Copies of this chain bind each other. A is one copy, B any other.
């Protein structure tokens, strides 16, 4: 079902009368749960105001995980567990996969529709943490930030065409494909190609996908495996800021001293484009020092 991520053709702002209509449109494929989809991450959530710890600011949403709530009183009566949909929505953050957001009518929420449900587009899951909720039980908190450049359905005076600068801005940011970033991390088992570092966290291993020739202006590097490295955050900074460059034979070289620090770890199936490696070396050595 991974191919459904990001593939929805339904326009942002589309209204639905019932959860069944939302389901039938493929927007949120569960009839009751607030979170839908688990593999490799959550596909969509419905914001309907059920949890006391939720907060909806429109472009930014603080969302509570599922479980442990008494349906009658709406209060937490047990700890939430880090599994199923709660785990999945954490994986949206870990894997950089956005989640579709649907808002249901809620008189207390100025960003919700007057009635029924509304599809409000894609949000990034930018934070996750366990929290002691208002009722004393453990809940999971997720912070979601709306992808820029999408029509604001809660602001009827603002048509999408009125905001060309935001659309342009977005176009220059969304070039990154989370599937390719994930592929490079999985190819190396989240181990840094420069230092061999493997960062372990309770929510899984952590690595970053670093572009050899940077994405976007002025460099315009491609978003492909031939331009990507699996890096720990420290070496990502070192590489992006020109502390280290790669030689033609893929040795790791200190840019300022020229000293060779070792060889880049390379998988047999991973081909790095020498033109892109040369570009990175050129801007941080020849160009910077000439």
Contact = CB atoms under 8 A, between A and B. Distances in A.
Interface of A: 53, 55, 57-60, 62, 79, 82, 111, 127, 129-132, 138, 141, 143, 152, 154-155, 157-158, 162-163, 165-166, 168-169, 172, 197, 199-203, 206, 214, 216-219, 232-234, 236-238, 241-243, 255-256, 282-284, 287-288, 290
Contacts of A283: 129-132
Contact of A79 (B143, B168, B290): B290
A274 to B, nearest CB: 18
A199 B131 CA distance: 33
Across the A-B interface, give the 6 residue pairs with the lowest CB-CB distance, nearest first.
A58-B165, A233-B233, A201-B241, A59-B169, A201-B243, A60-B169
A232 B202 CA distance: 19
A162 B172 contact: no
A8 to B, nearest CB: 23
Contacts of A218: 53, 62, 129, 131, 141
A109 to B, nearest CB: 11
11 contacts: A60-B172, A79-B290, A82-B288, A111-B165, A129-B283, A131-B287, A143-B217, A155-B163, A201-B238, A201-B243, A202-B288
A201 B282 CA distance: 16
A168 B154 CA distance: 14
A279 to B, nearest CB: 10
B154 A165 contact: yes
Contact of A158 (B60, B111, B127, B162): B162
A57 B241 contact: no
B157 A162 contact: yes
